[in-house]
């Protein structure tokens, strides 16, 4: 299965251009869409799910233009938005069966609901109100409802934001399992999620694609070009003026700065093994 995003642009009524000529190709497996808040990720998710129409461009699924034939993708799509509401007085199992009905599933809906709740480790909580679930439990419920009907395409928007490390790891494991025979589009601003989960990725910044490829290809962009040193706070302004500074952070109680340079900058800087965070900051400065 192949999902092609072709030359998608979208400008909102207030004049904000959320997407500018975005093109991507997704196939089975986990595809990570990395970008800061406001990069246009959620707009792109909504266009793919046909909840929003683009100003230009099309979405093509196995040769079919689903922008103008939305039913071709709706029947095989699962979607977990960044924020989703739940009915305050519905228990998990009941709400799952309600979702099944909304997706046109009647036969075996209870068995399917119980299976999915078990898969996300919520079976023992099936008679609890979803409204009372913790943030991590609610996100796991969200992925369970998105998987109702065994969709071939799964879209998840910022699913690990705000989760503690245990819940985040549990959620990642679930996504990894289901991505083996589905297209899973994973939108996030958390670099570590992409590092741990995705074989293919893209960086979206200010509505444009800055990179598309594998994480290894992304690291090659800054190979042997990232340098680091410990500095005092007073030195920071000078570093920003004279170098392409990518980030600064505290480590072991000291401030370290990372820069991009084609040549060794000397002055106490040492080569640093790059990570996707360095790539992300570099691409978003270009």
pLDDT tens string for the chain (286 positions)? 899 999 999 999 999 999 999 999 999 999 999 999 889 999 999 999 999 999 999 999 999 999 888 888 988 999 988 777 777 789 999 999 999 998 888 889 999 999 999 988 899 999 999 989 988 888 889 989 999 999 999 999 888 777 788 888 888 888 888 888 899 999 988 888 888 889 899 999 999 999 999 999 999 999 999 999 999 888 888 999 999 999 988 888 889 999 999 999 999 999 999 999 999 999 988 7
Domains and their CATH numbers in the chain: 1-76+152-213 (3.40.50.300), 87-146 (no CATH), 220-283 (3.30.70)
CA–CA–CA angle 136, 133, 32 (5° rounding):
25
pLDDT score at 37: 87
Instruction: List 226's β-bridge partners, or say none.
Output: 260
Look up tokens 């900051």; give the residue: 281
Identify any residues that bridge with 154 across adjacent strands, giving them in sequence order: 78, 184
pTM over 0.75: yes
Q: With 0-12 CB in 10 A as exposed, 13-18 as middle and 19+ as buried, what is 208?
A: middle
Calpha distance 17→232 (Å, rounded): 39
3-state secondary structure of 271: strand
Residues 181-198 as b/e (b if ≥16 CB within 10 A, e otherwise) read ebbbbbbbbbbebbbebb
């Amino acid at each position: 299965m192949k999902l092609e995003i072709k030359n998608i642009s979208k400008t909102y009524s207030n004049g904000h251009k959320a997407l500018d000529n975005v093109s991507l190709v997704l196939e089975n497996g986990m595809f990570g869409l990395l970008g800061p808040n406001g990069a246009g990720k959620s707009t792109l998710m909504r266009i793919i799910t046909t909840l929003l129409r683009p100003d230009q461009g099309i979405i093509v699924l196995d040769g079919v233009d689903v922008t103008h034939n939305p039913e071709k993708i709706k029947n095989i799509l699962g979607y977990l938005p960044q924020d989703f509401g739940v009915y305050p007085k519905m228990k998990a199992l009941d709400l799952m069966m309600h979702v099944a009905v909304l997706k046109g599933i009647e036969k075996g809906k209870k068995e399917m609901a119980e299976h999915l709740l078990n898969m996300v480790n919520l079976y023992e909580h099936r008679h609890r109100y979803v409204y009372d679930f913790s943030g991590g439990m609610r996100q796991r419920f969200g992925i369970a409802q998105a998987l109702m009907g065994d969709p071939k395409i799964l879209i998840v928007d910022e699913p690990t934001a705000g989760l503690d490390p245990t819940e985040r790891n549990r959620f990642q494991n679930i996504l990894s399992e289901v991505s083996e025979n589905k297209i899973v589009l994973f939108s996030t601003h958390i670099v570590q999620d992409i590092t741990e989960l995705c074989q293919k990725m893209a960086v979206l910044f200010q509505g444009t694609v800055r990179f598309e490829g594998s994480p290894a290809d992304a690291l090659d962009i800054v190979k042997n070009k990232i340098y680091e040193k410990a500095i005092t706070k007073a030195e920071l302004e000078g570093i920003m003026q004279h170098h392409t500074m990518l980030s600064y952070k505290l480590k072991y109680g000291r401030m370290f700065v990372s820069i991009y340079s084609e040549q060794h900058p000397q002055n106490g800087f040492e080569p640093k093994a790059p990570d996707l965070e360095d790539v992300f900051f570099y691409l978003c400065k270009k």
